[in-house]
Structure 1
Amino acid sequence: MNQMEEFIKEHCRDYGTYPMVFDKNIGLDITIPNHPELKVAPPREYKAVIKITTFRGTCYEAVHYYGDIEASGPHLTIQEEDGSVMSISGYVCEEYQKMSKDKKALIDGRYRIEILRGVTQKEIDDDPDRWYGYDPGDSTNAFYSKSEIFAIAKKIIEYRFPGWEIELDDCC
């Protein structure tokens, strides 16, 4: 494992079984053999959005920001008899239900990754109640600044989603 992959593993919590790097063709080769009307379509645009949220100002003593990456991905479609194509989700068919979680995660329409960082000894010493039970280096999704989230997320996107457009959605 190279240094960048170690960085990724330390700073990401994937909400699916995802590869280390997302090629733009990923998932497009997945088929449901007994249902030729079901096809995997590429996303309309290849975009990875950095979403930053907080409870600051709405929750007593909240001082943290949180970050996720939501990236567009391929999705399942069905071609109707009149030739129109519609995106579908939910229950599709038994064959889809039996498909591995790994494959389903690739054609869910979006990928979600939570941004993490390691807790420091200084944080634990400065606020032992807040960090009770944590050891230095343990993962947390709580950041003190939006710029720290953005820097880490941008680095992750550039490695994991090569060629995707990067957008910032700063909800706070």
Structure 2
Amino acid sequence: MDLEQVIKQSQGERYVYPDIFPDNCGLDIVLPNDKLHAVRSWGYRKNNPKRRATLEVSTFRGISFNAIHYYGKINIQGVNMEVDGEPGHSRMVFDDNIPLAHYTYELELKRPLSKEEISEDPERWGDYYNEGDLTNCFNTIEEIIALAKEVFRLRFIGDWEFYVESPYSRYDGKLDINNQPTGYE
């Protein structure tokens, strides 16, 4: 999977985010009219020294037999907007034009539908979807984790750590992502 495809499959629901998330993204924001500047929202505790992205897996059990679907979103630690001249005092920023000034960022994961999947369940997909259309509904947690690893590997650079939170504890915890880029390629 390449960067362009990964970006299509991991978008913000409300905001447009950069294609690549360096570990210092958002820290350059200064709002002089509001007397605010961005500071780290992570690293104040010993157990959180690196910036963190967390895959949150949720599930839905439908009313039909075997109707189980999984959903994934990546929650990303944003920044705090600190008041100029008042260390430790911060304010929330609700400006939709500056999404990297927010406390958290969020990417919704989606996957493309296959022709076979549409033809196997025409009642669900038939009249509304075409092959390649994206859906946020996954069939397994493993699919979500595999996509999330690709998103993390290609879209996050620098000093990040990646965690998973799911309804099933066997998937929870820190994930080791192999071949994570350390800079722009």
Same fold (TM over 0.5): yes
Identity, in percent, stands at 31
**What letter corresponds to residue 139 of structure 1 in structure 2?**
L
Mind listing any 5+ residue stretches in structure 1 that lack a counterpart?
92-96
Q: What's the counterpart of residue 60 of structure 1? A: 63
1:20-67: CA deviations, max 9, x gaps?
Answer: 11112222222122344x2211221400101110112xx312321000
3-state SS of 1:130 partner:
helix
Tell me what 2:6 maps to.
8
Change (3 A) 1:90 1:7: closer
**Which residue number in structure 2 is paired with residue 164 of structure 1?**
160
Higher relative contact order (CA closer than 8 Å, sequence separation 6+): 1
Structure-2 separation of matches of 1:9 and 1:161: 11
Task: Quote the offset at 1:86 in angstroms.
Answer: 2.5
Could you state the TM-score of these two structures normalised by the residue count of structure 1?
Answer: 0.81
Q: CA deviation at 1:137?
A: 0.5
Query: Who is 1:87 aligned against?
Result: 90
Contact 1:51 1:171 in 2 (8 A): no
After TM superposition, the score normalised by the length of structure 2 is 0.76
> Would the alpha carbon gap of residues 137 and 41 (structure 1) be closer, same or farther in structure 2, given more than 3 Å must change?
same
What is the aligned residue count?
A: 156
1:34 and 1:69 mapped to 2: Cα distance?
32
The alpha carbon displacement at 1:78 in A equals 2.2
CA contact (8 A) 2:79 2:100 kept: yes
Query: Alpha carbons of 1:43 and 1:159: their partners in 2 closer, same or farther (altered >3 Å)?
Result: farther
Kindly state the Cα deviation for residue 157 of structure 1 after the two structures are TM-superposed: 1.1
Gaps of 5+ in 2: 43-49, 169-185
Aligned-pair Cα RMSD in Å: 2.0
Q: What residue number does 1:94 align with?
A: none
